[in-house]
Amino acid sequence: MSELVINDLHASIDTDAGDKEILRGVTLSVESGRTHAVMGPNGSGKSTLAYVIAGHPKYRVTSGSITLDGEDVLAMSVDERARAGLFLAMQYPVEVPGVSVSNFLRTSVTAVKGEAPKLRTWVKEMKEAMADLQMDPAFAERSVNEGFSGGEKKRHEILQLALLRPKFAILDETDSGLDVDALRIVAEGVNRYRESSGAGTLLITHYTRILRYITPDVVHVFVDGRIVESGGADLAEVLETEGYERFITAAQPA
């Protein structure tokens, strides 16, 4: 059983106007095999939480801790975090012109696992993972994310998830920009990986539509850089009906 533990996490970013605190004391534990959905309005700091866990240099942790199976994540470099079992599916995946999807994926797996997969085994595994996501085999020879549609970019993120097999998947608004069919395929990919690996999932979103396909064990309402309420999957239905207004109002100082 693995566990990702975030305790009283505060993080800031430098702006032209000076230091700006974005995370204001986030406490959260995600266990193997469980899915936690973090939901909140735009600008509440949800994506910042994802990037801080992954080690983005843009953000500075001012206090608090993140541990993975008792090890200090904040003391790890970005690549060490990946090797330890953390994976981030980005909201806006970057383009890597001139690097094919197949080469990118094999290089990534080699870097994370410390050795290159055998070529024959690798090709079979990659083709099977692509078929599960209904991806054309020719996709493997295209440059990473160059000219990809929104759905193709997100399928590529889930393809990485399937092949890297991390302990914890942090999915930052994976549903953003997807049509109904692409959303279903991507969600099925997440569910398939979770069920086969027993990995933990931190699903960040502000819409409930992806939760029609991925059922969370816990839902957290995230407002103004912190969790203001947690509950079961039914809390997402409350948000769908009522929105975030009452949580935003309650979080404001008196």
Provide the token pair at 242.
Answer: 């009522």
Specify the pLDDT at position 166.
Answer: 95
pTM (predicted TM-score): 0.92
Which pLDDT tens digit goes with each residue over 140-160?
A: 999 999 888 888 899 999 999
- Residue 253 has what pLDDT? 63
* Dihedral sign computed on CA atoms, order 64, 21, 232, 210: negative
Distance from C-alpha of 88 to C-alpha of 45, rounded to nearest angstrom: 16
Domain interval for residue 115: 3-251
pLDDT on residue 15: 81
CB 13 within 8 Å of CB 60: yes
Cβ-Cβ contacts under 8 Å for 225 (sequence gap 6 or more): 21, 22, 23, 24, 25, 26, 44, 45, 48
Residues of the chain with pLDDT under 70: 253-254
Give CA–CA dist 49/22, Å, rounded: 9
What is the number of domains present in the chain? 1
* CA separation, residue 152 to residues 96, 158, 182, 243 (Å): 14, 10, 8, 30
233 membership: H or E segment, kind and range: none
Q: How many CB atoms lie under 10 A from the CB of residue 125?
A: 16
Any idea what the CATH number is for the domain that residue 76 is in? 3.40.50.300
What pLDDT is stored for residue 164 in this prediction? 93
